[in-house]
Amino acid sequence: MSVISVRNLSKRFGKKQALDDVSLEIGQGEMVALIGASGSGKSTLIRHICGLETAQNGASAIEICGRAIQSDGRISRDARELRRDIGVIFQQFNLVNRLPVLTNVLVGNLGRIPRWRGTLGLFSAAEKREARDALARVGIREIAWQRASTLSGGQQQRAAIARTLVQRSRLLLADEPIASLDPSSARRVMEVLATINRENGITCVVSLHQVEYARRYCPRTIALRDGRVVFDGPSAALTNDFLTTLYGADSEELILPEAAPARPEDTQRGRPLIEARALVAA
Amino acid sequence: MSHIGKFSPQAAGVTIARDWTRSIGNTGLWVILAALLLWSWGPADMGRWSYLFTDAGNMTRYASGFARPNFEQWRYYLEEMLVTIQIALWGTFLAVLLAVPFGILSARNMAPWYIVQPVRRLMDLFRAIHEMVFAVLFVVAVGLGPFAGVMALFIHTTGIFAKLFSEAVEAIDPRPVEAIRATGASRLQEVVFGVIPQVMPLWLSFTLYRFESNVRSATVLGLIGAGGIGQVLFESIRGFYYPEASAMLIIVIATVTLTDLLSQQLRRLFI
């Protein structure tokens, strides 16, 4: 069964068609990269999947594990319940700056524990231990009591990942998680995501700006251009030449000129490559 | 009026054309201001300004009554001052309690318009009516004394806090709130974990500042019989006991200064 199923999704912001009849299926345990130039609809797609944005009117559906989170431009009644299963991390980390890191991570519990306890912020010792373990797993155990605003970008993003670990989501959506990070922090964050995907079997969808990271960490890539899916298949098939044919001049934005080509053992990380299903011509 | 003349365009090798629409617009604004001031001169009785100098002797005589403060009953004054502070404390506290929900409900990014608009209008009502007027109403309802003062401060300050609090809420960063929504949290939990931590420093500042103002207001409320140092102060002024009034004024000024210093320390501690 597919974890994410999107059918005929369209969204218009003013005059701009942000998403144009997008349909896709993502299966259990996959690690999928979502690439495209800025404004191609990556973030919009992710925000629709987690139900932070609603589709425009018309027959469309987004299902998480077979249950609709929104259909025909309406958020479903179950959305709050479904969001528990969807961990989201954002380009700007979206931690609450004035709260300590540990509290930011404990917030991941809110969807799972009794409502009154969450509202009063009464987290149990076991939950606190779990939050500390999550911090240790992403490699920032020692800064649990620091305010989130005092962390570096890479640390903040790892704290945000720890929050989704505590949430015990089955699906992790990452919206440009490394776009505001320096290269070494970016690699650490991608490593953490790949490890979670491999060890916990959590399905990961990561939107990326640069195709090198897709080739290195994600077996499958979905490429968007002007709100349409223009490629859905193995990342290894995305050669720089092919990107140029897909995006024309825009492809410069997606390729790091100085980066060495990805090593084959890296692209093989995790599970075998998924066969190309669709090569939609633009 | 034009400031362009100060520069030397020739030196820079360019000629700057004078922007006539702008110049005329500026002149027009000054003319309107002058007209407004002239129009208000008579009604505001500004013609009496010369009395400030010709009758200055009256003032000196009056003020000299205050020159020798009489602290004989300082213990009593301090007690009454304390009552005034206690009135301000309860008035401010109750206002904060009510202003937190009202402030959130009147923030456009937190509630739909059909809640925001009625709540805002109610808060306008609370704010538009001066605490003096409320105090008169409450004196009728609950009798003379400090409780009428507490209620008056409470209602008026709630209106002020709701506006200030909601403006702080409207200025928050929506992204952390979204992240909390994405964990499956309830609306209330979004507010508790996403909104309140962001607005806390501002809310605290507003509260401390208003507490100071309320100490001052509570003093004036004594005028209409709402207890505290104000009541004693106005009674002694009406009875021409200027040395006693002077002592009380000094105590009021010292108290306001002290609350200011204290709230500065508190602010530094929490923010």
Taking CB atoms and an 8 Å cutoff, what residues of chain B touch A76?
none
Interchain contact, A115 vs B192, CB within 8 Å: no
Residue B258 domain flag: yes
Interchain contact, B183 vs A107, CB within 8 Å: yes
How does B138-153 read in b/e, with b if 16+ C-beta sit within 10 Å? bbeeeeebbbbbbbbb
Interchain contact, A88 vs B182, CB within 8 Å: yes
Interchain contact, A108 vs B175, CB within 8 Å: no
- Return the higher-pLDDT residue of B138 and A278: B138
Contact call for residues B240 and B70 (beta carbons, < 8 A): no
pLDDT at A281 over 70: no
- The tens digit of pLDDT for each residue in B39-53 reads 999 999 998 888 888
Residue from the list A50, A95, A99 with its beta carbon closest to the beta carbon of B182 = A50
Does residue B234 share a domain with residue B179?
yes
Interchain contact, A96 vs B194, CB within 8 Å: yes
Sequence-distant (6+) residues with CB within 8 A of B257 are: none
Does residue B25 share a domain with residue B82?
no
Taking CB atoms and an 8 Å cutoff, what residues of chain A touch B192?
119, 121
Residue from the list A86, A103, A118 with its beta carbon closest to the beta carbon of B185 = A118
- Return the higher-pLDDT residue of B223 and B88: B88
pLDDT at B18 over 80: no
Interchain contact, A111 vs B184, CB within 8 Å: yes
Taking CB atoms and an 8 Å cutoff, what residues of chain A touch B176?
94-97
Residue from the list B178, B185, B192 with its beta carbon closest to the beta carbon of A111 = B185
DSSP class of A228: E
Residue B57 domain flag: no
Interchain contact, A107 vs B180, CB within 8 Å: yes
Output Rg (C-alpha) for chain B, integer angstroms.
Answer: 26
Residue B195 domain flag: yes
How does A237-253 read in b/e, with b if 16+ C-beta sit within 10 Å? ebeeeebeebbeebbee
How far does B155 lie from chain A, in Å, by closest CA?
28
Question: CB contact, 8 Å: B174 with chain A?
Answer: no
Residue B143 domain flag: yes
Q: Show the DSSP H helices in chain A as ranges.
A: 42-49, 79-83, 101-106, 115-120, 125-137, 153-167, 183-200, 211-217, 240-247, 264-267
Per the structure, the count of domains in chain B is: 2
- Exposed/middle/buried for residue A166 (C-beta within 10 Å: 0-12, 13-18, 19+): buried
Residue B149 domain flag: yes
Contact call for residues B260 and B213 (beta carbons, < 8 A): no
Sequence-distant (6+) residues with CB within 8 A of A214 are: A33, A35, A206, A208, A221, A235, A238
Domain enclosing residue B27, as ranges: 4-45
Mean pLDDT of all residues belonging to chain A: 85
pLDDT band at B33 (very low <50, low <70, confident <90, very high): very high
Question: CB contact, 8 Å: B6 with chain A?
Answer: no
Which percentage of chain A shows pLDDT scores above 70?
90
Amino acid at site A119: T
Q: What is the CATH number of the domain that holds B94?
A: 1.10.3720.10
- The tens digit of pLDDT for each residue in B184-198 reads 899 999 999 999 999
Does residue B227 share a domain with residue B99?
yes
Interchain contact, A94 vs B178, CB within 8 Å: yes
Looking at residue A274, its pLDDT comes to: 44
Q: How far apart are CA B134 and CA B142, in angstroms?
A: 12
Does residue B9 share a domain with residue B141?
no
pLDDT mean over A115-128 = 92
Does residue B185 share a domain with residue B98?
yes
Q: How far apart are CA B130 and CA B117, in angstroms?
A: 22
Residue keyed to tokens 């015990």: A168
How does B253-268 read in b/e, with b if 16+ C-beta sit within 10 Å? eebeeebeeebeeeee
Q: How far apart are CA A123 and CA A112, in angstroms?
A: 11
pLDDT mean over A44-57 = 89
Taking CB atoms and an 8 Å cutoff, what residues of chain B touch A80?
184, 186
- The tens digit of pLDDT for each residue in A195-231 reads 999 998 999 999 998 888 898 999 999 999 889 998 8
Question: CB contact, 8 Å: A163 with chain B?
Answer: yes
Does residue B81 share a domain with residue B23?
no
Residue B253 domain flag: yes
Residue from the list A82, A119, A163 with its beta carbon closest to the beta carbon of B192 = A119
Looking at residue B145, its pLDDT comes to: 87
The DSSP bridge partners found for residue A175 are: A207
Question: CB contact, 8 Å: B143 with chain A?
Answer: no
Residue/partner pairs of B204-208 with CB below 8 Å, 24 or more apart? B204/B266, B204/B267, B204/B270, B204/B271, B205/B267, B205/B271, B206/B161, B206/B164, B206/B165, B206/B168, B207/B92, B207/B96, B207/B161, B208/B263, B208/B266, B208/B267
Min mean pLDDT across A171-180, A262-271, B17-26 is at A262-271
Does residue B95 share a domain with residue B36?
no
Does residue B209 share a domain with residue B91?
yes
- The tens digit of pLDDT for each residue in B119-159 reads 999 999 999 998 889 998 998 888 888 999 999 999 999 99
- The phi and psi torsions of A10 (rounded to 5 degrees) equal -130, 145
Question: CB contact, 8 Å: A77 with chain B?
Answer: no
Q: Show the DSSP H helices in A121-235 as ranges.
A: 125-137, 153-167, 183-200, 211-217
Does residue B81 share a domain with residue B36?
no
Does residue B121 share a domain with residue B40?
no
Interchain contact, B189 vs A84, CB within 8 Å: no
Instruction: Specify the length of chain B in residues.
Output: 271
Residue from the list A84, A99, A109 with its beta carbon closest to the beta carbon of B197 = A99
Measured between its terminal Cα atoms, the distance across chain B in Å is: 45
Residue B61 domain flag: no
For A221, what's the count of Cα atoms within 13 Å in the CB-facing half-sphere?
26
Question: CB contact, 8 Å: B194 with chain A?
Answer: yes
Nearest C-alpha neighbor of A245 from the set A279, A219, A217, A268: A279
A72: left (phi over 0), alpha (psi -120 to 50) or beta: left
pLDDT band at B241 (very low <50, low <70, confident <90, very high): confident
Does residue B180 share a domain with residue B104?
yes
Mutate to test the interface with B, among A50, A78, A96 (most CBs of B within 10 A): A96
Interchain contact, A50 vs B176, CB within 8 Å: no
Give 3-state DSSP helix, strand, coil % of chain A, rounded to 5: 40, 25, 35
Interchain contact, A112 vs B178, CB within 8 Å: no
Does residue B135 share a domain with residue B209?
yes
pLDDT band at B14 (very low <50, low <70, confident <90, very high): low
What's the farthest any 2 CA atoms get from each other in chain A? 56
Minimal-distance CA residue of chain B relative to A118:
B189
Residue B241 domain flag: yes
